Amino acid sequence: MDENEIENYEFLTKVLINMGITPDKLGFEYLRYAIILVAKDPSYLQAVTKRLYPDVATHYGVKSRDIERCIRFVIELSYNCGGLLEINNLYGTVVYKNDYKPTNSELIGILSDKLIMNAKRKKYKII
């Protein structure tokens, strides 16, 4: 791994853990990788089920329906423990109240956008 790749993974790992999504959950890895793919190519958000999930599934050697379900599961866990409120800390404004659970693509989109902004601020490229 090069320095940029390590910084991206570290940043996302901290964010996800702060959201209550821990590495012991299978969806953690899938979500982190999906966020990085979208940060590299935002057009993935226009074809989540047709392109993003299959590409993540190929990377991990599983079926794309498993990717969708595992990501949905960790978002549910985060929602149930109030972890989605961490997004408000990331952006410094109220993005979510704990009365709304984002879809997989909404959360992937908002976190990939934050990854892009973080990379630009530090002047390094997305993996």
pLDDT in tens, the chain (127 residues): 567 778 888 999 999 999 999 999 999 999 999 999 999 999 999 999 999 999 999 999 999 999 999 999 999 999 999 998 989 888 888 888 878 889 999 999 999 999 998 888 876 666 5
Give the other-Cβ count within 10 Å of 31's Cβ: 28
Query: Considering the domain 3-121, what is its CATH architecture?
Result: Orthogonal Bundle (1.10)
In the chain, which ranges are continuous DSSP H helix? 3-18, 26-40, 53-60, 64-80, 86-91, 104-122
Alpha carbons 28 and 21: distance in angstroms, whole number: 6
Residue 33 near residue 26, CB atoms below 8 Å:
no
Residue-wise pLDDT for 73-91, tens only, equals: 999 999 999 998 989 888 8
pLDDT at 95: 84
